[in-house]
Amino acid sequence: MSDFYPFAAFPDIEQESRALFARNLAASREMFGIEGACASQANVAVAAGQPLSLSGLLNEAGRHVGEAFREDIRNFEKALSAHSRENPAVLVTPVAGGGRLMIFHSDRFIHRNPEEGPAYILEDANGALVRGVYLRDGLMDRPPEQGPALRDFSGGMDLAAYYVKGRLHRDEAEGPAKIIRDPVSGKILCADFCRNGLLHRINGPATYEAHYRDEWVPEGHDMQREGWFRDGRIHRPSQDGPAVIDRDAAGNRLREIYVENDRRHRDPADGPAELAWRSDGKQTYAGYHVHGKLHREDGPAQHIEEDNSIRQCWWRHGLLSRDPFEGPALIWLIKDERRSLVEYRVNGLLHRDPELGPALILCGVDGKPESEEFWLNGEKITP
């Protein structure tokens, strides 16, 4: 969850609890100091689906603070014990910049009836909503038809997220369970369709990111990603198309991956399970996968073309393998140096009948072998 801070220091709360902190300003400064720890604990709890309570967060975050602060926590818990779910306490504190934070809390958890409004409200100095969170019994929870359980306008974003009993959830026919927009243009930056906390959508991609980053994308380049998920697993029937599609800012496809039940898969007769292109349309990669393993019967299962090299690899059931009578299992050409490497492998092991020639050959500029090695069943031999 994005920058959700369920706790901020509150030296000024409703009258019956106010004296607990007014007597000791040092305690409030100490609380400000551990706010980050509280936020970290809150994020852990949200991810685990655990209910949020301020006293629990304070106790967890305040393990290493003084006894005076722990005494304040005990007094705080005592003050909250008088409040039921139907009559939660309202905790109010000023925040930096002139805004204020309001938290509704029962005797046990952050809680408020969603029909009455958010249980966590952060406003700026002008009274405008910065963050609003609907929680029931400590869990983010609001009927999706009433609207999102989380609205967050902090950090230069516009986030709306639908939660039911602590899990991202919304009927896909109604729209994504989480949406992040550019607050100025309104453009969708991220959208996730979720059911019961898992990415899930039947009729289209379950997730979209407008500015996806991946290690294989050149620095400074934007990439858009779409992903198809079913019940939290990457999945799209291969006959329907790729489950992962990456595009550049102009909409040109950069990569497609066919995935069924979290495994790369496509009938080799229909084509590669993974393909990649440069923005100019030149193909740089093709990989054939069957049930998660590189595999092809009638040609190389991998073709990799980089600026300075070309590789072709023959794979069978996830192992580099090719009948030595048909040719090597690996051919690697280094263009600038005009050098090449070939390997004969069977079931992943270097192997070739020495009467037919070496199993590993490194050729130089003139095409003549610079190095040769003989192998049988993965063991190097001297012919």
Q: Indicate the pLDDT class of residue 296, thresholds 50, 70 and 90.
A: very high
Contacts by residues 332-338 (CB-CB < 8 Å, ≥ 24 positions apart): 333/309, 334/308, 334/309, 335/308, 335/309, 335/310, 336/308, 337/365, 338/365
Instruction: Supply the pTM of this predicted model.
Output: 0.81
* 148-170: pLDDT as tens digits: 999 999 888 899 999 999 999 99
Q: Is the pLDDT of residue 142 over 80?
A: yes
Region 251-278 average pLDDT:
94
Q: How confident is the model at residue 82 (pLDDT cuts 50, 70, 90)?
A: low
Is the backbone of residue 257 left (phi > 0), alpha (psi -120 to 50) or beta?
Answer: beta
- CA-CA distance, 290 to 108, in Å (whole number)? 52
Type of residue numbered 368: K
Asked whether the predicted pLDDT for residue 9 surpasses 60, the reply is: no
Between 63 and 367, the more confident residue is 367
Question: What average pLDDT does this structure show over 174-192?
Answer: 93
Question: Where exactly are the structural domains of the chain?
Answer: 1-139, 296-383
